[in-house]
Amino acid sequence: MKKIVIIGSGNVAEALALSLAEQGMAPVQIYARNVESGSALAARCGAEYAGEPAQLAPADLYLIAVSDRAIASVSGSLDFGDAIVAHTSGSTPVDALSSKIRHRAVLYPLQSFTKGRSVDFREIPLMIEGCSAKALECVREVAGALSDRVLEVDSHRRAAVHLAAVFVSNFVNYMYTIGEELLADTGMDFSLLKPLILETARKAVESSSPRRVQTGPAVRNDFQTKNLHCEMLVDKPDLKNIYINLSNQIWETSKKISRK
Amino acid sequence: MKKIVIIGSGNVAEALALSLAEQGMAPVQIYARNVESGSALAARCGAEYAGEPAQLAPADLYLIAVSDRAIASVSGSLDFGDAIVAHTSGSTPVDALSSKIRHRAVLYPLQSFTKGRSVDFREIPLMIEGCSAKALECVREVAGALSDRVLEVDSHRRAAVHLAAVFVSNFVNYMYTIGEELLADTGMDFSLLKPLILETARKAVESSSPRRVQTGPAVRNDFQTKNLHCEMLVDKPDLKNIYINLSNQIWETSKKISRK
């Protein structure tokens, strides 16, 4: 069985470590600068904790789950021997890993992780890449133990996926915060929007394409409602600007579709 | 038991008619200009179909589920006697109903309906308003038979809820279509994003506030990733514009929060 060390103790490190442990592939070590979160995560998955370069355990695979901008320096500052080293970032090329490492790889889980929330790894697309046959084979094996959806995707396409994820997750969540703000302004609670939020997500996911289920005043080009909404946002120029911009885009996009 | 007539045969009319029928309160008549969809809906809920003003059946409650801009003309062109007449629109004031009608009311379901998709009405917030005690009492009774979440909300606040719904549903769905486009550009399928879309919605709904679960390069002010994304969108100026605008807003909003 492969010996795995996880480097980092953030959201992605936690999700990977716990999910590996569930599959009987618990990491042997959590290596993290943050003593508190690192040793807590190590305890939860039955691994040892280390925080100093000299303490790094020997392993077959090192999974680097640190912030994107730390990947180069972390990978350059540790001695991995001839082991496989994979980062877990969507937008970072595999070559951001130090060129000193012979077997560079990527294992990117396409999901948004939050501490304390467990997610079903089996359904999460895991995008893998390897700079050597040995590296690719190793991440393919580990990814396959975690998920039923393992895809080999190069750095260029993985970056496109990550960009798409920013729109459908980060920007979507921001739309939720705007909804919350607009309700709060009139003394109502965000919880009212919850059935609508869940149904909107389910509908898009169950349809053949979200374009087909686009509804609302923008796609109907309903001037009356759009004007009313703009009047309501007169004291919130930033939100009014977003409203107009997105409404125009929805209308332009729908025209392109219907012309096809 | 109340006699109910539904006017219209679109998404909202269908959802209300079928849900009333499930509760043993099937409408006695579907009144709709569109013969095909009107008579089909009538058949599905065991109601008669009518399409001419003279055919309008006597009833206790007329539920007008037509497009927002048709509410005034439809409500002014039919003879409702002394019955209660309610429209089902979020952004339309109760007084858009013809002033000839004595018992004007609103029954607005806060949900996005699509033909052929059944939804659980019990969890849908139903926002009611009445211009007379009799009108309010009637829509309260009917709404209460359909849903566990009936709220009395005036036209002004209901419009704010509808505006919030545009952000969390229509604009969110547009973000999904952008994600689909970005994946398609690189030969990948929208289905890859489905677990992320569902988890993002669930996370927001299960958190105390979506603000607390905001993630991504924008909230971290991660210039490196933002610049990379802008370069990737260089041939899509409209999407680049949305990206920059929303990223800036997320960052500005998070600064305001952390200052609190």
Q: Closest chain B residue to A239 measured between Cα atoms?
A: B249
Instruction: For residue A251, list chain B residues with Cβ-Cβ distance below 8 A.
Output: none
- pLDDT value at position A257? 61
Q: What is the CA radius of gyration of chain B?
A: 22
pLDDT confidence of residue B79 = 96
CB contact under 8 A, B175 and A175: yes
Chain B from 34 to 73: CB within 8 A of any A CB = 68-69
Q: CA-to-CA distance for A250 and B219, rounded, in angstroms?
A: 25
> Does pTM surpass 0.90?
yes
CB A225 within 8 A of CB B91: yes
Q: Is B241 on the interface with A (CB under 8 A)?
A: yes
pLDDT at A28 over 90: yes
Helix B172-185 with A194-206: angle, nearest 10 deg: 30
CA B21, CA B29: separation in Å to the nearest integer? 12
SS3 A79: coil
pLDDT at A12 over 50: yes
* Pick from A124, A92, A168: nearest CA to B229: A92
Contact B183, A211 (CB under 8 A): no
Beta-bridge partners for B86 = B63, B105
pLDDT averages per 10-residue partition of chain B, 260 residues:
95 96 96 97 97 97 96 97 97 96 98 88 97 98 98 97 98 98 96 97 94 90 92 97 96 71
Average pLDDT, chain A: 95
A189 pLDDT more than 60: yes
Mutation target for A interface from B128, B147, B199: give the one with most A CBs within 10 A. B199
> In this prediction, does ipTM exceed 0.90?
yes
- Cα–Cα distance between A61 and A82 in angstroms, integer? 10
Is residue B171 within 8 angstroms of chain A, CB to CB?
yes
- Residue B259: per-residue pLDDT: 47
Query: How many helices (H) and strands (E) in chain A?
Result: 10, 8
Predicted pLDDT of residue A53: 96
DSSP state of B41: H
A164 touches B: beta carbon within 8 Å: yes
- Angle of helix A223-232 relative to helix A237-259, nearest 10 degrees? 160
pLDDT at residue B258, as a whole number? 57
In angstroms, the first-to-last Cα distance of chain B is 54
User: pLDDT tens across A87-131, in order?
Assistant: 999 999 999 999 999 999 999 999 999 888 888 899 999 999 999
- Please, which residues bridge with residue B127 across strands? B108, B151
Identify the pLDDT of residue A260: 45
Helix (H, G, I), strand (E, B) or coil at B87: strand
